[in-house]
Each structure stands twice: as structure tokens, then as C-alpha cells.
Amino acid sequence: MNNGPILICYDGSKEADAAIAVAGRLLLSRSVVVLDVAPLMIAEGWAAASSEAPFVDRLAVDNAHARATAGTELAWQVGFEAEPRVDSAIDTWRGVVEVADEIDAAAIVIGSRGLTGLRALLEGSVSRQVEAHTRRPVLVVPATA
């Protein structure tokens, strides 16, 4: 395992809060980066259809920054040396994996909503996609934690 920081994915949900608490109990000897990936709306189809697309993207990034800052404050409360980080991506999992690679994260911590069946298929599972597309250890904290 490398000596890079731990990357904690944070979206403001109770599952993300629980992931920080669990990580604090397990991984306190590391610094962390608290990441919120803003959904990037300016895809070719969206940009052509709406002149509001740049505004929507800016609003998403501003909201992600506020959530990352809130997550960083939670990380400080459990004892981490933490810094906020925001990235934008069309696929959230891709943004997580790219930032983890950029900062050479020792591991990725992510909460899971525990979706199953049709709901999981329709809404997708960021934690499963991150696990499938990274070569780094991933700590998935279940919704019941």
C-alpha cells in the first residue's frame, strides 16, 4: 500500500456521513481528501438543447464545493487531517477514479445506499462502479453502518 492520502467520497447523504465515521475508526493515521464529484451536464446533447447548461454546471460545482466542505468538517471532527476537493464528471464513478489516480490515493472510502434489484439497475451504484474500475483498495461502508 502506498503512503498517499485516503480519498473519501462525500455527497452529503447519511451514508456518506457514516462512511466518514467508519473511516475515522479504521484509518485515522492518514490524511484524507474529501471529494464530491459534481454531475457534468454539458454533454453534447444537453448543451445543444439548453442555453442554461453552463449555469446548471456552475451551480452543480458550487453545491459540490459546499458538500465537500461539510464533509471535510465531519472528517476533522473524527480526527482526520482533511482537505476538500471538487471535481466534475459525466459519470460520478469516473470522477472518483480519476481523482484517486491523480492524488495517488492509498484507498477510496465510499458509502453505499444498499440499493438492490430494479432500483439499483435504474439509479446505478457508484460504489460498485468505483470498485470495478479502480486498482486501489475500496472501503464500501453499507447504509446500515
Q: By residue range, what is the domain housing residue 77?
A: 6-141
Q: Does residue 59 belong to any structural domain of this protein?
A: yes
The structural domain count of the chain equals: 1
Instruction: Give tens-digit pLDDT for 49-98.
Output: 556 656 667 788 889 999 999 999 999 999 999 999 999 888 899 999 99
Q: Does residue 101 belong to any structural domain of this protein?
A: yes
Q: Does residue 45 belong to any structural domain of this protein?
A: yes
Q: Does residue 1 belong to any structural domain of this protein?
A: no
Q: In whole angstroms, give the CA distance from residue 6 to residue 28.
A: 10
User: pTM score, two decimals?
Assistant: 0.79
6, 62 Cβ separation under 8 angstroms: no
Instruction: Give tens-digit pLDDT for 5-33.
Output: 999 999 999 989 989 988 888 887 788 99
Q: Does residue 22 belong to any structural domain of this protein?
A: yes
The dihedral through the CA atoms of 113, 119, 123, 125 has a sign that is positive
- Kindly report the CATH number assigned to the domain that includes residue 38: 3.40.50.620
Tally of residues, the chain: 145
Q: What angle do CA 98, 101, 107 make, to 5 degrees?
A: 110
